[in-house]
Amino acid sequence: MRTVALLGIALPLAVLAASVLVVSPARAEVGRVSVHAGTAEFGPGAVPQQFTVACAPDEQLVSGGYAGVDPQLRIVASHPSDGQGNPVADRGAPRAWTVGVVNTAQAVRTLRVSVTCLAGGDSTAGVYVGTQSEPSDPSVEAVCPRGTVRTGGGYWAVWYARLGAARVDGSHPAGTQGWALDLTVPANLPARSSVTAHVVCHTGPVAAVAAEPAEFDLQQASPVCAVGAAANVCAVPQSGSGAARCPGGMVLTGGGYRIVSGGPLTGQAAVVDGPASAGGWTVSLTGTTAQDTRVRVRVEPVCLGNVFRPSESVSDLLPDGGARLNKALALAGGLLGLLLLILLAVLALRRSRNRSGPPAPGIEVVVRTARFRYRDDAYREDR
């Protein structure tokens, strides 16, 4: 009876241990945000100049951005890189953020590049890319796979010295898993021209948190008109900035922007597109419109919540190689549970054999018998 009772306790414990090994991580943390930044000074040039800022060796990249762009600077790339300025290949691991800029002015300009990283967390970063199906496509999107969480995104465009590159009018989150670019592609670009979208995805015990975007209107300046032979041609300069933040207690990892009404802008420059010191994501745009129209811009933050335990199996949290890892963990957990069960059963049997206690209490009945013979010839009467 003792053995059966012990087995009844050991079996649920073994099953629980195996299930914990398969689907439950050790103590998991989202981590704390760490922003690294560097300021570059550079002169004019006909080709893009790249500037890179890296995460620390023990950190995981989540996004990046820039600030201080002069309207005469043309940003043609803002993307996760391998630390040497090279764009990360599809499914690769990012280590830094790189910004490519063309200085069309005749003077020295400065640019501040920043990279946002997670320190002390348990998630792992990976990059997924998307390219245009056709060179003239006005948009392109990169999407995180199922089981991962989007933390930021960026892009890079092919630059031609005499023709320029496609203009990025917006770089922003799309849906719950994607990162999209809104493009203006000049007709004179070659057929091989392309723009690539990058989305940074994290694998591990993190979850996206919905956050309210912020919108702002560009402020109009006085029209600038060129007097022509037939009619005056006027352009309206516009500029403005805004910032979006995450809900209280949530972690801001990235952000982006898009023009939601009143566009398009010409001569557009995203002066700022990056994290702000106050904990928000800041965007500042400048450009011109051909007519007196209001331009509205939306800033969209990307936020993570404090989730410590995944709700899906390991294979869902680790795309591709996760299925193999999940099978290995399940096999190891099952074997460990079986060994634990056998060990407890052997111990229980040994204990039951080694223990010799007093007999059980009861009543002892002893029956004794004797044989006798009655002889009537031995009886006589005296007279």
Tokens of 81: 């890189």
Q: Distance of CA 288 to CAs 110, 224, 291, Å?
A: 23, 10, 9
Q: Identify whether the C-beta of residue 39 lies closer than 8 Å to the C-beta of residue 52.
A: no
CA distance 134 to 140: 10
Confidence of residue 121 (pLDDT cuts 50, 70, 90): confident
Query: d(Cα 96, Cα 84) in Å, to the nearest integer?
Result: 8
pLDDT recorded at residue 327 = 55
- What are the angstrom distances between the C-alpha of 1 and each of 6, 8, 15, 142? 9, 11, 22, 63
- With contact defined as beta carbons under 8 Å apart, do 87 and 158 qualify? no
Question: 0.85 exceeded by the pTM?
Answer: no
Q: Which pLDDT does position 226 carry in this prediction?
A: 77
Quote the mean pLDDT of the chain: 80
pLDDT of 33 strictly over 70:
yes
Place of tokens 């700022």: 272
Closest CA to 94 of 126, 137, 133, 135: 126
Residue 26 has pLDDT above 50, yes or no: no
pLDDT of res. 114: 96
Rounded Cα distance, 285 and 294, in Å: 13
Three-state SS for 136-198 is CCCEEEEECCCCCEEEEEEEEECCECCCECCEEEEEEEECCCEEEEEEECCCCCCCCCCEEEE
